[in-house]
Structure 1
Amino acid sequence: MMRYQLVSGQAQCVGEGCSPEVVAALGALWGKSAEKAGGVMNLLLSHMLDTAAVAEVVWDRFLAPSTKASWDEVAGGVGRGRGLFAWLCGVHDCGKATPAFQWQWAVGAAGVRAAGLAWPEAFVAKWARWWRHDRAGGFILARVLREAGWGAKKIGWVWPLVAGHHGTFAGECGPPEKARGQLEGGGLWAQVQTALVDEFSRALGFDGVTSVEPQGTLPSRAAQLHASGLVVMADWIASGPHFGGISDLAKVSMGGARERAGRAWDALGLHGGWGRLAEPDDAVFVDRFGDDPRLSQQMVLKAARDMPAPGLLVVEAPMGEGKTKAALAAAEVLAARFGADGVFVGMPTQATCDPMYGQVRRWLEGIDPDLAGQVALLHGKRRFNKEWQALTELGGMDPDAAFAGVDEYGMERGNDSFGMDEECCEEIGSGRRGPAQWFLGPKRGLLCPFVVGTIDQLLFAATRTKHVMLRMAGLVGKVVVLDEVHAADVYMSQFLKECLRWLGQARVPVVLLSATLAAGQRQALVEAYLSGAASREEYALDEPLRAEGYPCVTSAWCEPRENEPVATTRTGHALSWRADLPVTVEVMREPVATEQANEGGAGDELVAGLLAERLSEGGCALVIRNTVARAQSLLTALGERFPPDELRLLHARFSDGHRADATAECLNLLGPQPRERGHERPKKLIVVATQVAEQSFDVDADLLVTDLAPVDLLLQRIGRLHRHEGVERPARVSSPHVVVTGYDLQDGGSAEFPAAAEAIYSRYLLLRSLAVVLGAAPAAPGAAPAPTAAEAASAPGVLPAGPVGTWEIPGRVPELVGAVYDVPTALAGTVWEADEEKALSFWTRKQLSRADEAAGLLLTRRGEHERPTLAGLHDGAVGTRSGTQAEALVRDGEMGVEVVLVVGDEERWTTLNGRVLGPNGVVADEVLDDLLSGAVRLPAKFTAVAAELRPLPGWLQHPWLRYSRALVLDGERRTLLGGIPVSYDDRLGLVTGAGHPQTGR
């Protein structure tokens, strides 16, 4: 094997078979052009060493103990993983030692030609774009490793890490057939390529390429994907402005690269999480949260302590039971036991992320005060979170850095797509106390050691999209906590199960939380994790997981030695911190609009009359409607009976600023201990809301009125009822009552639901849920009487029924959920039997269709889960999507386009709140937040026409606003969009179509 080294400051060849031509070539091959390396060309060997040096710092200061241990096993012994990891990261750009790459920069190409490396210019120029340097690297490295004597299986998992380092993994990486022999070069080129990899290996301390070969276990495919993300991370850092060019081979050294890497890491402010934790003792709950753990929380902690290997915990417990605190304490136990270095907490919506963000920060502060400032909040509206704003201390940032991506050469570039990435670091200044700015660039957010974000962030890691390895790298090495997992529909569940497969294979501890999880859903999630942990295409437990009590904790893991899946449940019948709440269930039929265009209004007077009667002595009511239109219509009707200060409206079509204010006000007025926050509980208040109040919305209502929804979601809504202890309630609402409306029964007992409700939830689930409700519900006083179960059915008693008129909550939650989701043909023998059969057939076809649609986007296709390497992972990939498209990728249906509302005309514009914009809409810094607070998401029906909206002229050069679509309203806050009236009202929010308000205010 040839060898090259520096002798007396000069690059000389000292190995057998050495040639001056190869030395000259190594001194000419460029990795970064002068324009992209601070004015001086950076030699290819220099960049490879820079990347390896960054990887060493990543190992020392960033990687979780569990990750280091796994790579020690791969390399063949304790302490050997670090060198292998650095080598894998640094060798990534060996494919630049080809004509296909070197011809692209004229100045550098001339130097390479002068060193004796030639190519047919016209031919290479024609074909080079078909063979980028990432794939070229995989091809060349595979040859070099074969010649060095590496085993085929080891070569098989290594070359894809190089071939995929620009975001996608192909099935093969050779040059096009018609260009074979020209793009990779021949003769001297092959010698130089071998010498480059060999010299790079020796600079890292190996005795050439042969000695790099790992001698331990083969890494799992999940470990390979994790490593691939870390290769990208190291490459991007080493391609940044802290690494200037080195054009003299005599000045290239690993020692110099290490100095540069250390300075860059410190300048970027990067670091890992909590390192290796000591396992907390029984006092952890008091230390972290100031309370003794409830019995159900103790059960969760015991389950975490009893797991012999990293695995899955599924925690099912009532609303308000303290599942989140139990999960965070369990995460601390799991991290200490299995070497995790951080946590990801995923929530169902942006709105539920915000309160969780504060809770996670306070928990981390109890572990180490410095950790609280390192929590990233990942969702598109984080700039309106007051805690995030205070933490990140606005200002001081290069505005263009917010949308920087990385080009084919690993260099930063602006985002040229219309629609910004949800994770862009839009407001982090260099003087911040928050997470390092680098972590908050596009696609990097999950790499931050501590993250609170929407579940979408995790689901993206299960998609066959570009740079998915960065997302997976941000999850492996952490403990993953997901709240409200029951909220994932069949479409989202495909991505959730796929991600659980990968996390199971990567041995990532996962904690799933739910109050209303169906047994079938629990079984599917556990089996998905275990199939990954066992590296099997499919895995089914021998018997169904049975939860004989509530709360319930299910544990699942693979036995460390036998790699055999294990799952077990533990339950408690009397572990809840408070006794069951006897909730009286009432029903109130209403005339139903069977067309979506005419949703609201029909039952508004019935609800208004009911509220007037029940709140005659005062009290606080929560009314949940299934659509924005029904909520807006009801609020208008209530305005005829109640003064404005007794009414609040909350839904997703308020502007960001108005919605944030309305949410905060509701939490302040009806949240726990309002007096401690300087607020008195109102004597009378009605909050009309949509599904935004369904979960993770910690308010206490004296009375609940709700549209019919699937029973698990209905129970979530009931969780807002009499939620807090010590609340003084007027006599008429002193006991908990829920009134279910949003349906009708025709002569003969046939059921009708609003068209929009059927579109959202399906007729099948609504029909079965109504049957459960009617089995326990008397008619509301003053309302048209609803039939009992016996009256609605031709065969009395066959509808699911409990104690008439009362649900014991939470004790009966599993039973009620199971009655809808786990009992086949529950309505047999009733007047609804034929309706159920037809609805079930349609629902089943729809579920299968939605699952199949998601399957085409999953990271791994059916039949490929047992593949040993990443080769071909991206075959048939959907490409890179951003903004609303990316969100729609993991959520079924159109998400709608987000616009920024402005008022005025071409002569003069103002923000929604009336602040004046400059000429052409130019936005002064002090007006920016006010302008962006006017952002709102349009209904999906406007997606096509809204795509034609563009920024105002004065926004085009702004680093943030140039990606925003402006919807200009006239002086009355009205416009036409696709021929449909659209307006904005401070009281109602965005109003479309027939519901157009008469005034702009």
Structure 2
Amino acid sequence: MEGRHETPQFEHSVRTPTNFPPFSKQTRAMWAKSGDESGNLSLPQHLMDTAGVAAVVYDTWVAEPIKRRLTEGLSLSDDQVRDLYIWLAGVHDCGKACLKFQTQLEQKGGFEHLVFNLTDAGLPLRVGGLEKTLTKMPHGICSGVLILNWLMEQGFDYPTAELLSSVADAHHGVPSPVEDRDRIETILSAYPNEWQEVHRELLNTMAEAIDVQSTLETLKTNSLNDAAAIQLLTGLVVIADWIASNPEAFPMVVTGTQEERVQLGMQATDLTAPWSGRAIDGDVDKLYQSSFDWPDHYRARSVQAAMVEAAKTVTEPTLIILEAETGVGKTEAALAAAHVIANATDAQGIYFAAPTMATANGLLERTIAWTKNTTEAEAVASLYLAHSKNQLSQPYQRLRFKGIGEDYPTGDNVVASSWMSGRRRGLLSNVVVGTVDQVLMMALRQRYSMLRHVALAGKIIIFDEVHAYDTYTSDYLETTLEWLAHYGATVIMMSATLPPDRRNALVKAYTGQEVATPSHSYPLITVASGSSQHSIAPEPSPTNLEATLEVIEDSDEVLLREMEALLNDGGVALIICNTIARAQEAYTALLQSFPDEVELHHAGFMAWERSEKEDRLRTELGPGAHRGESRPHLKIVVATQVAEQSLDIDADVLITDIAPMDLLIQRIGRLHRHDRPLTDRPAALREPRVFVRSIDSLTPHPVLNSGAEAIYGAKVLLSTILHLPDTFKRPDDVAPLVRAVYAPEQEVPAEWVEEWEKAEVLNQARQEAAHSRSKSFRIKSPNECSRLSDLFGDLQRAAVRLGDEEIGAAQVRDAEPAVEVIPILGSEEEYAPLGTDWVITGNPELNYRQALHLASSTVRLPARMTRYDHDFNDVVGSLEQLTPTAWNKHYLLKGQLALPLNEDGEAELGRFRVRYSSELGIEILSDGQGDNVS
């Protein structure tokens, strides 16, 4: 980066290992990195580099909560933990001293010298029969076997030696199967003496140089069975290995002393120290004013003040659950509490987990501003946006042009670390804003899970909108809470509508205990740790909304008639539908009477179009827009669930499909959301009104729309209808209604009993199926894991296939991995990106502007198109053939699929005919059976 200073990002007092004795000629002949034209890197050098990096990582990046967890889990002192980590990093690749690895380039031109070095050093190259039969002999497994045997020679018992050696065994992301280790053990035990001497030399030399012997002696006497501590150590070894393997930081040509090499390598790696928050005085109002740029006269609300007071009581890992209505400043309250707790516990930073990419993007700039305002003046904070589309976020990309080590204006010391923005590394940053999936994947059997664990274990985790999780995802959430508590991470959770049973389940997952004294207060702050529980009931807000509710017939004719009557004098109507197809249908029906006033919003638009639509809506319907100026005289917004959480818009009237009560209340949060002058709303809509549809009949019992029932299940919808009030007051009715709907025992009308019992049976079956599915790739509770392989169970090989972030996100959401496409007009040989007047001919390499626009044009195909293997193969196979090959040459488009459309905006994919338009988004027109299914 231009203008970047060469200030090292670690203290000069860091003790890096430098007292390595000379290695033998045989050991120096071993290579670790085949390198480039400048040369190759020897195995001893790579191990020394990794040990040196580990020392710096431990002293500068590893936060105090992680150090405390490791000292407790390993029954060692802090210095002993440090030495053990450096030694494990220094021997992690010793298994590269095997014939399969060292001779793999024998037939590759230009690398013959690497093999000649071995023979010149007197090392025999006879490969045994069993080794010849192996197509692969992973050096991670070899390292684990060699370390295991060496530790047992030092007097370790097998279980302890096996647990320690699993760090090296799993440093490529997943522990190896037992049968593979046994096979390689047999091979290595038969190696010639010359090779076995190299193995001993590597392990002995590292032990002597790091002076780890006394630590190992202590470990011999300990009963080591803490898989969580080993998981953290493995994650730390991965970090050290990845840094030391970067040739830009640790070049193949070795010059200067080892201490200088490590110092220069870490200067080239912008790894930041744990977050350092500004000191906090006792004035709560001043804390909020300085943190969020509030004016001096602004006072914290009761919920916000109570959260800070709750945070001040935290002296151990704690779960804080904040329940309060929308619009009271829960986001600011959570960040302020995190600031207090981070200062008290020396946390590594925070992770702010949002339900969707859109909400994460919406939180980003607020969190950047908070981080600038709260980071200590002389410190630098690294920030990361954790979702798969972060390259398209301009606020985040602007941070990446700053360099760590530069001189910053006051309050401008927040950057996106270049190294920590790499694949799988972003969560290592101090402050992370991202989707909840990235945290829930802690509970997923997934390659490199240890890196995710070590990245989150030292942070304060903030979960937003925790009410919105189904049974399947709740299983992942509860397992994640168990692991976060086990690591000693404090967790803050927020919800506007949390059923008491869910609150109890969250507390039990984190503390292992039920809620001691259930409270029906609202708002409510629950504070729970392993040793204590208490609740705080902040002063409630006055009633800020009183809306009438009415169920209307579910037909396009009735919808149109209601709109014409309600909007006779103009106004803003919001219609929320449960599916894209219903939203498209409602939009089309309204066009005949409102050709210029109706607008469609759902997740089936290209990313940039959806973003533009949402930005326009926020401008037109936000708090600063007024009728007669930017707020339209008449507008109808038809949307799906995207309007529940991610859109800060204010409607005069709401028409919504039936949904669970907590989600209905979220939707009602968009009705009369902002205080407005009377002139902003037409006289007929000055009293808030809600109309509920998607119910086919109410008598003699409710008959639900099949789409609503498929999404949410019949029981919760019937219970919602049972308790649907004629008038809803906010916040007064929020907690009582949610509590009533989710109560385990219900009194239902006699006419409902048969349908209710059917719904209960189906709900029970649905929940049992969800619990069963969630076990497929979910890791065990930390209390059930005594070995690293316990985190992967019998699915070690399957876990490797789950490396893709999109697949992992789908796995924790009980969603089908969606296939993303980029619609273009034309063919791969000549096409126009939608929304441009460009014509790209002949499949040329794309410039940045073209690639960025295309990368911003992704849209997800409906899941039913790729649900079954034969459809997936047909659809994706067709798309791969139709995608310009030049796309794979640009980092923004690598792996993306094109959807070439004809002049009508349509395409044939397998048995499906689809259409994309800027008006309706993605549609399935037919499924190959001649049926129109849009």
How would you bin the TM-score normalised by the shorter chain?
0.7 to 0.9
Q: How far apart, in 1, do the equivalents of 2:374 and 2:423 lie?
A: 29
3-state secondary structure, aligned to 1:838: helix
Q: What is the CA distance between 1:884 and its match in structure 2?
A: 4.0
Q: What is the CA distance between 1:109 and its match in structure 2?
A: 4.1
Letter of the 2:97 counterpart: A
3-state secondary structure, aligned to 2:788: coil
The answer to whether structure 1 residue 761 and structure 2 residue 682 are counterparts is: no
Please, which of 293, 303, 307 is the counterpart of residue 296 of structure 1?
303
3-state secondary structure, aligned to 1:750: coil
Q: What is the CA distance between 1:144 and its match in structure 2?
A: 1.6
Aligned CA distance change for structure 1 residues 987 and 394 (closer, same or farther; 3 Å):
farther
Letter of the 2:754 counterpart: A
Please, which of 597, 608, 611 is the counterpart of residue 657 of structure 1?
608
> Could you tell me which residue of structure 2 aligns to residue 898 of structure 1?
820
Which aligned pairs between 1:401-800 and structure 2 lie closer than 5 A?
434-530=415-511, 539-541=512-514, 546-559=518-531, 566-572=532-538, 575-590=539-554, 603-644=555-596, 646-674=597-625, 680-728=630-678, 729-745=681-697, 748-773=699-724, 776=725
Contact 2:361 2:393 in 1 (8 A): yes
Q: What is the CA distance between 1:288 and its match in structure 2?
A: 1.0
Q: What is the CA distance between 1:306 and its match in structure 2?
A: 1.3
> Could you tell me which residue of structure 2 aligns to residue 967 of structure 1?
899
Q: How far apart, in 1, do the equivalents of 2:226 and 2:833 lie?
A: 53
3-state secondary structure, aligned to 1:479: strand
Contact 1:635 1:649 in 2 (8 A): yes
Instruction: Say which is worse superposed, 267-276 or 449-458, in terms of deviation.
Output: 267-276
The answer to whether structure 1 residue 231 and structure 2 residue 181 are counterparts is: no
Q: What is the CA distance between 1:60 and its match in structure 2?
A: 2.9
What TM-score do the two structures reach when normalised by structure 2?
Answer: 0.87
Letter of the 1:816 counterpart: L
> Could you tell me which residue of structure 2 aligns to residue 99 of structure 1?
99
Q: How far apart, in 1, do the equivalents of 2:397 and 2:251 lie?
A: 37
1:891-920 per-position Cα deviation (integer Å, ceiling 9, x unaligned)? 213243110000014652101123211313
> Could you tell me which residue of structure 1 aligns to residue 399 of structure 2?
391
Letter of the 1:382 counterpart: N
Q: How far apart, in 2, do the equivalents of 1:640 and 1:164 lie?
A: 62
Letter of the 2:606 counterpart: S
Instruction: Say which is worse superposed, 517-526 or 168-177, in terms of deviation.
Output: 168-177
Contact 2:577 2:638 in 1 (8 A): yes
3-state secondary structure, aligned to 1:121: coil
Letter of the 1:608 counterpart: L
Aligned CA distance change for structure 1 residues 727 and 753 (closer, same or farther; 3 Å):
farther
Letter of the 1:556 counterpart: A
Aligned CA distance change for structure 1 residues 29 and 386 (closer, same or farther; 3 Å):
closer
The answer to whether structure 1 residue 868 and structure 2 residue 786 are counterparts is: yes
> Could you tell me which residue of structure 1 aligns to residue 344 of structure 2?
337
Q: What is the CA distance between 1:441 and its match in structure 2?
A: 2.1
What TM-score do the two structures reach when normalised by structure 1?
Answer: 0.82
Please, which of 285, 288, 291 is the counterpart of residue 288 of structure 2?
285
Q: How far apart, in 2, do the equivalents of 1:433 and 1:279 lie?
A: 19
Q: CA RMSD for the aligned pairs?
A: 3.1
Q: How far apart, in 2, do the equivalents of 1:501 and 1:479 lie?
A: 14
Contact 2:507 2:513 in 1 (8 A): no
**Large movers: runs of 4+ above 6 Å:** 214-217, 369-373
Please, which of 929, 936, 941 is the counterpart of residue 859 of structure 2?
936
Please, which of 323, 327, 331 is the counterpart of residue 330 of structure 2?
323
Q: What is the CA distance between 1:372 and its match in structure 2?
A: 8.9
> Could you tell me which residue of structure 2 aligns to residue 16 of structure 1?
none
1:129-164 per-position Cα deviation (integer Å, ceiling 9, x unaligned)? 554221222222122223224466653532111111
Aligned CA distance change for structure 1 residues 673 and 725 (closer, same or farther; 3 Å):
same
Number of aligned residue pairs: 873
Q: How far apart, in 1, do the equivalents of 2:121 and 2:638 lie?
A: 76
Q: What is the CA distance between 1:307 and its match in structure 2?
A: 2.4
Letter of the 1:55 counterpart: A
1:16-63 per-position Cα deviation (integer Å, ceiling 9, x unaligned)? xxxxxxx3322223222244xx64332222111101111122123322
Letter of the 1:901 counterpart: P
Contact 1:242 1:260 in 2 (8 A): no
Letter of the 1:902 counterpart: I
The answer to whether structure 1 residue 842 and structure 2 residue 808 are counterparts is: no
1:629-679 per-position Cα deviation (integer Å, ceiling 9, x unaligned)? 1111212222222241x3222100111111000111111222233479x97
Aligned CA distance change for structure 1 residues 654 and 177 (closer, same or farther; 3 Å):
closer
1:917-945 per-position Cα deviation (integer Å, ceiling 9, x unaligned)? 13136533332222233221110111224
Aligned CA distance change for structure 1 residues 32 and 208 (closer, same or farther; 3 Å):
farther
Letter of the 2:694 counterpart: G
Please, which of 379, 404, 408 is the counterpart of residue 387 of structure 2?
379
Contact 1:276 1:340 in 2 (8 A): no
The answer to whether structure 1 residue 916 and structure 2 residue 888 are counterparts is: no
Q: How far apart, in 1, do the equivalents of 2:421 and 2:129 lie?
A: 41
Q: How far apart, in 1, do the equivalents of 2:314 and 2:414 lie?
A: 36
Aligned CA distance change for structure 1 residues 10 and 886 (closer, same or farther; 3 Å):
closer
Q: How far apart, in 2, do the equivalents of 1:199 and 1:815 lie?
A: 68
3-state secondary structure, aligned to 2:784: coil
Letter of the 1:876 counterpart: L
1:568-597 per-position Cα deviation (integer Å, ceiling 9, x unaligned)? 33334xx2344352221111122xxxxxxx
Q: How far apart, in 1, do the equivalents of 2:366 and 2:885 lie?
A: 41
Q: How far apart, in 1, do the equivalents of 2:477 and 2:654 lie?
A: 32
Aligned CA distance change for structure 1 residues 125 and 88 (closer, same or farther; 3 Å):
closer
Q: How far apart, in 2, do the equivalents of 1:987 and 1:340 lie?
A: 48
3-state secondary structure, aligned to 2:824: strand
Q: What is the CA distance between 1:323 and its match in structure 2?
A: 1.0
Q: What is the CA distance between 1:237 and its match in structure 2?
A: 1.1
Q: What is the CA distance between 1:188 and its match in structure 2?
A: 4.2
> Could you tell me which residue of structure 2 aligns to residue 52 of structure 1?
51
Q: What is the CA distance between 1:293 and its match in structure 2?
A: 1.6
The answer to whether structure 1 residue 954 and structure 2 residue 886 are counterparts is: yes
Query: Identity, % of aligned pairs?
Result: 33
3-state secondary structure, aligned to 1:309: coil
Contact 1:172 1:872 in 2 (8 A): no
Aligned CA distance change for structure 1 residues 210 and 307 (closer, same or farther; 3 Å):
closer
Q: How far apart, in 2, do the equivalents of 1:580 and 1:956 lie?
A: 53
Q: How far apart, in 2, do the equivalents of 1:231 and 1:695 lie?
A: 39
1:298-319 per-position Cα deviation (integer Å, ceiling 9, x unaligned)? 2222222112312111111111
Q: How far apart, in 1, do the equivalents of 2:18 and 2:427 lie?
A: 41
Aligned CA distance change for structure 1 residues 137 and 284 (closer, same or farther; 3 Å):
same
Q: What is the CA distance between 1:496 and its match in structure 2?
A: 1.2
Unpaired runs of at least 5, structure 2? 1-16, 107-112, 404-412, 867-871, 929-934
Letter of the 2:811 counterpart: L
Please, which of 135, 159, 165 is the counterpart of residue 165 of structure 2?
159
Instruction: Say which is worse superposed, 343-352 or 109-118, in terms of deviation.
Output: 109-118
Please, which of 321, 336, 342 is the counterpart of residue 314 of structure 1?
321
Contact 1:75 1:214 in 2 (8 A): no
Q: What is the CA distance between 1:483 and its match in structure 2?
A: 0.5
Q: What is the CA distance between 1:461 and its match in structure 2?
A: 2.0
Unpaired runs of at least 5, structure 1? 13-22, 396-431, 531-538, 560-565, 591-602, 777-804, 997-1001
Q: How far apart, in 2, do the equivalents of 1:211 and 1:269 lie?
A: 36
Q: What is the CA distance between 1:245 and its match in structure 2?
A: 6.5
